Amino acid sequence: MIAPSLIPRKSGQRIKTDRRDAMKLAQNHRAGELVAVFIPDEQTEAIRDLERARGAAKKSERAVRHQLSKFLLRHGKRYPGATNWNSAHLAWIAKQTFVQPAQQYVLADGVAAVEAATLRVGQLTERLRQLVQGWHQAPLVKALQAMRGVELVTAVTLAAEVGDFRRFATATDFMGYVGLIPSEQTSGDHRRQGPITKTGNAHLRHVLIESAWHYQRQPRISRALRLRSMGVAPQVCAIAWKAQKPGEAVTAVARELAGFVWAIAWEEKLLTS
């Protein structure tokens, strides 16, 4: 069934009937303007719900961490270390004291909120790790983790949100789908490119940009990446290594990374078909 909101309507058109809608659909179909919508299978949709729930939990964790850190800063308590929210930072927070009981209670409540949020994220991540094993996209998730900056959650997000990479005939099509291509305003001899379009799937765009930050450092294969690459086809590992040498800007890297993700997905489909 076609949603009424998807049927084009002229400005000021106040008459809407099934007959008119059918005629418009027939005209759009004849003109080749109708686009097929991908419908995921039940298992893929379930995994997508789980990874999105994990993403929401991570967002909540960032919020309570931010509230606690700003509370401490507001009272002049600055952590001397370089990395926040590791064991050393949490131990430092636990040692902080306030003269006023009300402020001490706020600190305790903030610590408890952070611990609860972190526990929730960990539980959802572990459940995601378990359920992915029985998913038909598990080989693709394994292959994507051969890339630097792409661990389990990112790989699952890419596989679950896209569903079937065969929907995109070229890497450029996939880049456009995630909204990482430049916007453009061209008229006559004047051509102007602007910021990225930010269209399509925001979840995919977010994880690709997050992964792109890992590519600012020199290309290398870490121990964790070597472990994740065990059992992955050599062709896929070659694509993943090539991905470590893209451009410099983070958004440009994310766009190139989308292309390499598409290439690995197609390689994996060819290997398993």
Q: How far is CA 224 from the centre of its chain?
A: 21
Q: What is the DSSP string of 27-59?
A: HHHHTT---------HHHHHHHHHHHHHHHHHH
Q: What is the pLDDT along the chain (273 residues), one digit of tens a residue?
A: 555 556 666 666 778 888 988 888 898 889 888 777 788 999 999 999 999 999 999 999 999 999 999 999 999 999 999 999 999 999 999 999 999 999 999 999 999 999 999 999 999 999 999 999 999 999 999 999 999 999 999 999 999 999 999 889 999 999 999 998 888 787 777 777 778 888 889 999 999 999 999 888 888 888 999 999 999 999 999 998 888 876 557 888 899 999 999 999 998 776 665
> Do 152 and 177 fall within a single domain?
yes
**199-207, Cβ contacts within 8 angstroms, sequence gap of 24 or more:** 200/176, 201/161, 201/162, 201/177, 203/52, 203/55, 203/157, 203/161, 204/157, 204/158, 204/161, 204/162, 204/177, 204/178, 204/258, 205/178, 205/179, 205/180, 205/254, 207/153, 207/154, 207/157, 207/158
In terms of domains, do 203 and 111 share one?
no
- Co-location of 131 and 147 in the same domain: no
Contact 241, 223 (CB under 8 A): no
Q: Are residues 125 and 152 in the same domain?
A: no
The reply to whether 7 falls in a domain is no
Do 170 and 238 fall within a single domain?
yes
Question: What residues does 184 pair with on adjacent strands?
Answer: 193
Residue 194 is assigned to a structural domain of this protein: yes
Q: Which of 109, 135, 161 is the last residue of a domain?
A: 135
Same domain, 181 and 161: yes
Question: Do residues 229 and 248 both lie within one domain?
Answer: yes
Q: Say how far residue 170 (Cα) sits from the centre of its chain.
A: 20
Last residue of a domain, one of 105, 135, 165: 135
Could you tell me if 178 and 258 are in contact, meaning their C-beta atoms sit under 8 angstroms apart? yes
Q: Are residues 55 and 126 in the same domain?
A: yes
Provide the residue range defining the domain that includes 268.
Answer: 141-272
- pLDDT of amino acid 200: 86
Task: Kindly state whether residue 131 falls inside one of the protein's structural domains.
Answer: yes
Residues 105, 60, single domain; the answer is yes
Q: At what angle are helices 202-212 and 152-162 packed, to 10 degrees?
A: 150
Q: Are residues 179 and 255 in the same domain?
A: yes
pLDDT for res 246: 62
Q: Are residues 156 and 265 in the same domain?
A: yes
pLDDT at 185: 80
13 belongs to a structural domain: no
**Total tally of structural domains belonging to the chain:** 2
51 with 172, same domain? no
Q: Which pLDDT score is estimated for 247?
A: 59
In the listed set 110, 135, 160, which residue is the last one of a domain according to the structure? Answer: 135
